[in-house]
Amino acid sequence: MKNFNGKCAYITGGSSGIGLEMGKLLAAEGADVVLIARNKKKLDEAAALISAMRRDASRRVLTLSVDVSDNKDVVKKMKEAVKKIGAPDLLVNSAGINKWADRFENITFDMFDEVMKINLYGARNMTHALIDSIKEKKGHVVILSSAAAIFGMFGYTAYATSKAALLAFAESLRYELKPAGVSVTVVCPPEVDTPMNYDEAKTLPPEGRAVKSLGGFLMPDKVARDILDAVRKDRYFFVPGFSTRVLYALHRFTNGAITRITADAVIKRASSKH
């Protein structure tokens, strides 16, 4: 998808963070933007910001209050949306949480389940509900995974598991959709300055905080620009951030040995301080 002018983009997690920034960029390039999240107030605030970025006043910025973890809610509202708004040329699965970043023994079943339902099942539910209309338009599906899916991380047993599952989901989906003319892009960013960080900071152990700093820190507008560039180039797999790409290269080249040794040393040092 070289040009977004006149296209229709559905963005989950569109009320904040990377989703919000992608909405701004797409509106500025002439796309209709459909923001999807649970909080109606935040959606309205985000829509106002994005509306100010539109290329022209004819472009639409719409909101849908949807719980992506609730498949019945997703199916019902996506069916209505396609009828009223139109099918998406671009689906961005950006919704995610990480408010239960802690040692595994402190993660209850319900905590783990909530992360999986939103991060993994949310992408599954949205993609499945819209797959027929995306095929008709020969569109593009973007899936936000994480660098934690590649490396794993101290305190991330729930989050990293959900994001690693998205990698397998995206890989399998790519094989199925390519013959239909639909592209898939999966993105694995490091730490990004989003509201999710404030949730995880409440419980993330110091060892996890220390390891996380190895991957660098990016602003959401930079990641959003990188994602749209990856879509333009029809890239399947993309890791934003120079530091994270270096770590990824070392991880692959040494089969994880270098990154594990490094992380172990960082964890040992952080533990000794606490």
Q: Give the integer Cα–Cα distance in Å for 219 and 223.
A: 7
The catalytic residue positions are 145, 159, 163
Whether residue 3 is contained in a domain is answered as: no
Whether residue 169 is contained in a domain is answered as: yes
Whether residue 189 is contained in a domain is answered as: yes
Whether residue 146 is contained in a domain is answered as: yes
pLDDT of residue 75: 98
pLDDT digit string, tens, across residues 183-198: 999 999 999 999 888 8
pLDDT digit string, tens, across residues 157-183: 999 999 999 999 999 999 999 999 999
Whether residue 176 is contained in a domain is answered as: yes
Task: State the CATH number of the domain containing residue 38.
Answer: 3.40.50.720
* Domains: count for the chain: 1
Within a 10 A sphere around the Cβ of 252, how many other Cβ atoms? 11
Whether residue 64 is contained in a domain is answered as: yes
Whether residue 251 is contained in a domain is answered as: no
pTM: 0.95
pLDDT digit string, tens, across residues 87-109: 999 999 999 999 899 999 999 99
Whether residue 118 is contained in a domain is answered as: yes
Q: Is the pLDDT of residue 210 over 90?
A: yes
Q: Which domain holds residue 200?
A: 8-205+214-242
